[in-house]
A and B are shown apart, each in its own frame.
Chain A
Amino acid sequence: MKTTFNVLTVCGSGTVSSTMVAEKLKEALAEKGYKITTTEVKPQQVESYAEMGSYDFIAYTTPVPENLSIPAINAVGFLTGFDEEGFLEEVLKVIEQINA
């Protein structure tokens, strides 16, 4: 079973909310026994990064292109704390699918 995941976090500038999402995600998933490594990018960089094949999924606060080769999850509720549970459920679902 895979326990380390490589995640792309995306925001408008590729620096601020993507970094916050990355920090929170590492913390939240460490509690569940998963290790997360992240790369913060701008929306324009998403496609080329996703195609590299080394990332497991995307967490975004600004829309990303459709039909990417890896799952993309809206992380705004996680960022604001307004819907942390909903976001984490989606992440865990993606992790289960990867491990299935």
Chain B
Amino acid sequence: MSTFDEDLILLGAEAEQAEDILSRLAALLHSRGYVKDSFRDAVVEREKLHPTGLPSEGVYVAIPHADPVHVNQSAIAVATLKEPVSFSMMGSPDVTVGVKIVVMLAIHKPEEHLQLLRNFMKLFQDKELLLGISEATTRQRVYELLGGVVSAQTVTK
């Protein structure tokens, strides 16, 4: 089961470029011991090779992550962005999208990642929910809206 709580949410963050917000979210996860020292660089490098910006209904989302070897314990950190930040699109690195929500996945087991991704794909089709997260003015509200998606995972191992 992944950890997700209000302390892992950055609300209305400002970032010039994708790497800035990746670093801040990675630092947040690292400060609480969820990820190893190598996690931040691994996420940044992976995002260059295999970008994770996703087309969604209205609000673009990115789901940066890294190989499980860089993770101590599964956790999810989330940032809502004040202004959209340019991410390359998954499957089409030449296309960039203005991302408003970044969901950083630090996942220890691939099967857990799969279930989480299934839940998130439903989220990405829910325009109301995405708008709600993007426009939330408190971390508590983001947690309320996203908490259900995260905790709906059923992990078998």
Contacts and interface: CB of A to CB of B under 8 A. Distances in A.
**A and B found bound together:** yes
Interface of A: 11-13, 15-17, 19-20, 43, 60-63, 74-77, 79-83
B124 interface: yes
B54 A13 contact: no
B113 interface: yes
Contacts of A13: 67, 110
Which residue among B54, B56, B91, B122 has the maximum number of chain A CB atoms within 10 Å of its CB?
B91
Interface in B120-139: 121-122, 124-125
Q: How large is the interface on B (under 10, 10 to 19, 20 to 34, 35 or more residues)?
A: 20 to 34
A80 B125 contact: yes
12 contacts: A12-B49, A13-B110, A15-B114, A20-B118, A60-B91, A62-B90, A63-B93, A76-B90, A76-B91, A81-B122, A81-B124, A82-B54
A79 B90 CA distance: 10
A76 B57 CA distance: 14
B91 A75 contact: yes
B30 interface: no
B117 A17 contact: yes
Contacts of B125: 80-82
